[in-house]
Each structure stands twice: as C-alpha cells, then as structure tokens.
Amino acid sequence: MLGLSAAALAGYLAAIVVLMLTPGPDMMFVVANAARYGTRAGVVAALGVAAGEAVHIAAVVCGLAALVSASPTLFTVIRWAGAAYLIVLGVRALRTSGDPLTSDPGQGDRTGRAFLRGLVTNLLNPKMILFSVAFLPQFVDPAAGNATAQLVLLGIVFVVVQLTVDIALGAGAGRLAGRMSDGRWSRRINRICAVAFVALGLRLAAG
C-alpha cells in the first residue's frame, strides 16, 4: 500500500502500540479529564489530543516541523507556553477541588471544553513535534514510492492507534470515577487531577 510492504506496516504498528501504551503527558491528560469530569470528557479529550497530533503530522508532511526543531528559541517558547497552560489548568482544578463531580453545575460546559484543552495541550508540547520529525521518517522507504504519500499513511495509522488507546483509557477511567462519585471520593479525584495537571506542566517545563 503506497509503497509500504505488509511487513513494514506490521513493524510500524507494533512500534506505535508500544509507544501508545507507555504512560506520557497525553495519556495522563486524557485519564485526568475522564476521572474529573466523566467518561464523555475523557473521550472528547482523546479526540482533541488526536486532532493535535494530526496537526503535528501535517506539519511534518509540509516540512514546517523541521523549522521548529531547528530553532531553539521557538522550541523554548512553545515548551514554556505548554507548561504554563497545564499549570493554569491544575490551579483551576485545585481551586474547585472541594466540589463533588456529581454536583458541578458547569460540568456540561467543561466537557465541551475537553476537546479544545486536549488539542491545545498536544499542540503546545514541542516534544511531540520532535517525536513526529524523528519517528515517522524512519519508516519511509524513498525507493518504494512517493515519500509524502507514505508519510500521510503512516500519520493516519498513528492517529488512529493513538485515538483508540486514549479513548479506551478515558472510558475506563471515567467509569471507575463514576463508581466513586460520592462527595469524599470526588474531592479526592479532583485534587489528584489538579496535582497531575501541575505535574505535567512542571515536567514539560523541565524539558
């Protein structure tokens, strides 16, 4: 398919499945949203993260990601912006950590914002840009056909696998949180998620 052999695609699939099952910022963000706001928010956050990754892959295909990876200043600006965004989300969550999940009057609105938050979180993670630049081209065989078409195919497969794994994790975390929806557990979940957001931001800032 598009110059890629079945063996090459199988190896690529195996590699990205292992990567997707390794805990990282995107996975933790989806799980935290699901635990705090429910299954629907987790799934929507996963869609947002996948959309962000699709943008990164499009940038790789267009050659824009190489520009970012070659500019230390731009890389640093994006990294600090992403870190600040996650820390702000964590602080906001901590300020409302006393509110039970089941009685949150703004939960519908917050679920709707999960997509945007997932999108922005992924876009402001410069490591995803560098990862896309370094990872995808390794599986392109210029002698096997159109390199751009191969990158597009590999990118689509990557996003589909990422979305599948993140949706499954988000749905599972949402259901688990739903079973512990009394006030005491809700407050604990809120605080854990707030700390997780801040930790993600600090991790991203640390480089």
What is the tens place of the pLDDT at every residue in 68-125? 666 777 667 767 776 787 787 777 766 655 444 443 444 555 667 889 888 988 888 7
For residue 162, the enclosing domain spans 25-206
- The CA angle 65-158-64, to the nearest 5 degrees, is 10
pLDDT at 184: 58
What is the tens place of the pLDDT at every residue in 9-67? 788 888 888 777 777 778 888 888 888 788 888 899 999 999 999 998 888 888 765 66
- Residue 81 inside a domain? The answer is yes
- Residue 78 inside a domain? The answer is yes
pLDDT at 99: 46
pLDDT at 69: 60
- Residue 29 inside a domain? The answer is yes
Element (H, E) at 97: none
- Residue 36 inside a domain? The answer is yes
Burial level of 149, CB count in 10 A (0-12/13-18/19+)?
A: middle
- Whether 41 and 109 have beta carbons less than 8 Å apart is answered as no
